[in-house]
């Protein structure tokens, strides 16, 4: 028996980050049945892989912006007699939809049900739906790092140390998928996984590398990773940074190899933060928190959304002022009301219903705005104008002079390695948008 584990192509080209679901699901498969032959395919890195693929079962991991290409892949494989199982966040949010294109759907976390999926396939009794539980993380296998081959080489692997998020931001599906309770992995297992990564840099894939009220656990983790000899980056909220234990936590993080903190800035305006219910995550003084992180020798990148129904035209340009004032890189996205989120429920009456999931990638205006000046075309034009300015080659190079010198040269190299592919992807997105804008406008009028 042979299984292919597939991650569909990303909307705007290749990125250097290996899709974590591939090598991790391979490890779950190997644990469940060591005799199964496994092939991993990242379609962005190896777009021709399907042409030569031979397998019995295909597991396709879909996020909302990759759902449509994932369904197309499934149609091709099923036409060749290959059974298809869907999983990951979009399949969990829209299981009935996914089932239309596949033979089975895993809803939620795979660990508790994946062995059963494989047994049922072997017995010719594949069920339409499997519902995974939110289990303890005490016995997760190490991903089969290095098993992903073929096509362009991915330069970063992802390590996860926890699941769950107590924040209930309206735009986010993480709490619904992973739960509101934070579940931690044993620190020694994280150290084991980091040691298994072949590269010298990696990404902590947690929603948050440190949690309010859990800083001591973060410090213990960072202390255990101090001897790994590897550099890393990850997402972190700003709330714990200004807490009494913040300086000790930041020092431990820096000594463990943390080069760059990616922060969910979420919205330029305070009104936007309140709309998204994200103020608790951000903390009381987010600009001072960013400066504090940088003062500890850690570079900062801010990720935020623009174009919500409460945003104004000047919010697009204000992000450039924030980037200049704080000395950080900024990465905008147009607001995406993902399925299964509170934001989608709130925006449901205003959605452009004829825009499919392939447009849910942060580059398109997906709903009507109450301000007549904020037409979808204006929001998209301003988004690309702002993004391309923030990612201009001059700004990317100038940012290297603002990266804390304590991280030299690794943090400076990382800054280039992370921004250049995003810059290239944004240019691809812009050209695609220009080519499609008339068709998209027609779809909005029909809706």
pLDDT at 194: 98
In percent, the amount of the chain with pLDDT more than 70 equals 100
Confidence of residue 284 (pLDDT cuts 50, 70, 90): confident
198 pLDDT more than 90: yes
Contact 188, 204 (CB under 8 A): no
pLDDT at 131: 97
Quote the CATH superfamily of domain 157-433.
Aldolase class I (3.20.20.70)
* More confidently predicted of 126 and 150: 126
What is the average per-residue pLDDT within 222-229? 96
Structure tokens at 249: 């936590």
- Tell me phi and psi for residue 125, to 5 degrees: -130, 45
Give pLDDT tens digits for 73-102.
Answer: 999 999 999 999 999 999 999 999 999 999
Give pLDDT tens digits for 143-187.
Answer: 999 899 877 888 899 999 999 999 989 999 999 899 999 999 999
- The one-character DSSP state at 164 is -
Total H helices, total E strands in the chain? 17, 14
Report, at the CATH architecture level, how domain 2-131 is classified. 3-Layer(aba) Sandwich (3.40)
- The one-character DSSP state at 359 is G
Which residue, chain included where needed, has tokens 């406008």? 441
Q: What is the pTM of this model?
A: 0.95
Domain spans of the chain, in order of start? 2-131, 157-433
What is the average per-residue pLDDT within 66-70? 98
Which residues, 6+ apart, have CB-to-CB distance to 179 below 8 Å? 134, 163, 164
**Residue 183, Cβ neighbours under 10 Å: how many?**
14
What is the average per-residue pLDDT within 194-201? 96
Confidence of residue 446 (pLDDT cuts 50, 70, 90): low
Give pLDDT tens digits for 321-349.
Answer: 999 999 999 999 999 999 999 999 999 99
In percent, the amount of the chain with pLDDT more than 90 equals 88
Contact 131, 108 (CB under 8 A): yes
State the Cα–Cα distance between residues 54 and 147, nearest whole angstrom.
17
**Residue 374, Cβ neighbours under 10 Å: how many?**
20
The CA-to-CA distance between both ends of the chain, in Å, stands at: 46
- The reply to whether omega before 409 is within 30° of 0 (cis) is yes
pLDDT at 158: 96
pLDDT at 153: 84
Structure tokens at 282: 């951000």
Confidence of residue 282 (pLDDT cuts 50, 70, 90): confident
| Average pLDDT of the chain, as a whole number | 95
Which residues, 6+ apart, have CB-to-CB distance to 296 below 8 Å? 247, 250, 251, 253, 254, 404
Give pLDDT tens digits for 39-63.
Answer: 999 999 999 999 989 999 999 999 9
Confidence of residue 447 (pLDDT cuts 50, 70, 90): low
Structure tokens at 417: 């390695």
């Amino acid at each position: 028996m042979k299984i292919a584990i597939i991650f569909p192509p990303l909307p705007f080209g290749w990125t250097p980050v290996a899709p974590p679901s591939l090598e991790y699901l391979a490890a779950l498969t190997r644990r469940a049945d060591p005799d199964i032959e496994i092939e991993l395919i990242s379609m962005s890195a190896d777009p021709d892989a399907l042409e030569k693929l031979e397998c019995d079962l295909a597991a396709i991991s879909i996020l909302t912006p990759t759902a449509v290409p994932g369904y197309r892949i499934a149609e091709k494989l099923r036409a060749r007699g290959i059974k298809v199982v869907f999983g990951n966040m979009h399949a969990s949010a829209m299981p009935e939809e996914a089932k239309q294109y596949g033979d089975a759907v895993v809803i939620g976390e795979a660990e508790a049900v994946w062995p059963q999926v494989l047994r049922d396939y072997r017995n010719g009794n594949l069920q339409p739906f499997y519902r995974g539980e939110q289990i303890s993380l005490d016995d997760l296998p190490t991903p089969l790092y290095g098993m992903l081959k073929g096509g362009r080489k991915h330069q970063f692997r992802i390590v996860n140390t926890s699941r769950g998020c107590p924040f209930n931001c309206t735009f986010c599906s993480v709490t619904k998928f992973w739960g509101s309770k934070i579940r931690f992995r044993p620190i020694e297992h994280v150290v084991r996984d980091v040691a298994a990564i072949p590269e010298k840099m990696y990404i902590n894939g947690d929603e948050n590398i440190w949690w309010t009220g859990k800083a001591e656990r973060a410090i213990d983790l960072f202390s255990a990773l101090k001897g790994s000899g590897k550099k890393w980056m990850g997402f972190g909220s700003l709330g714990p940074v200004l807490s009494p234990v913040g300086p000790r936590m930041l020092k431990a993080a820096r000594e463990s190899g943390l080069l760059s903190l990616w922060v969910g800035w979420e919205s330029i305006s305070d009104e936007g933060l309140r709309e998204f219910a994200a103020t608790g995550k951000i903390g009381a003084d987010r600009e001072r928190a960013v400066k504090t992180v940088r003062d500890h020798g850690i570079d900062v990148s801010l990720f935020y959304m623009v174009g919500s129904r409460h945003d104004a035209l000047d919010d697009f340009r204000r992000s450039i002022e924030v980037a200049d004032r704080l000395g950080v890189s900024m990465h905008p996205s147009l607001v995406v009301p993902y399925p299964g989120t509170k934001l989608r429920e709130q925006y449901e009456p205003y959605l452009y219903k004829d825009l499919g999931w392939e447009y849910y990638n942060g580059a398109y205006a997906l709903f009507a705005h109450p301000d007549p000046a904020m037409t979808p075309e204006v929001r998209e034009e301003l988004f690309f104008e702002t993004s391309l300015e923030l990612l201009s080659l001059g700004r990317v190079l100038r940012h290297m002079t603002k990266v804390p010198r304590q991280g030299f040269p690794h943090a400076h190299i990382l800054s280039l390695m992370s921004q250049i592919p995003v810059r290239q992807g944004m240019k691809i997105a812009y050209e695609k948008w220009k080519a499609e804008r008339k068709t998209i406008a027609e779809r909005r009028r029909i809706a």
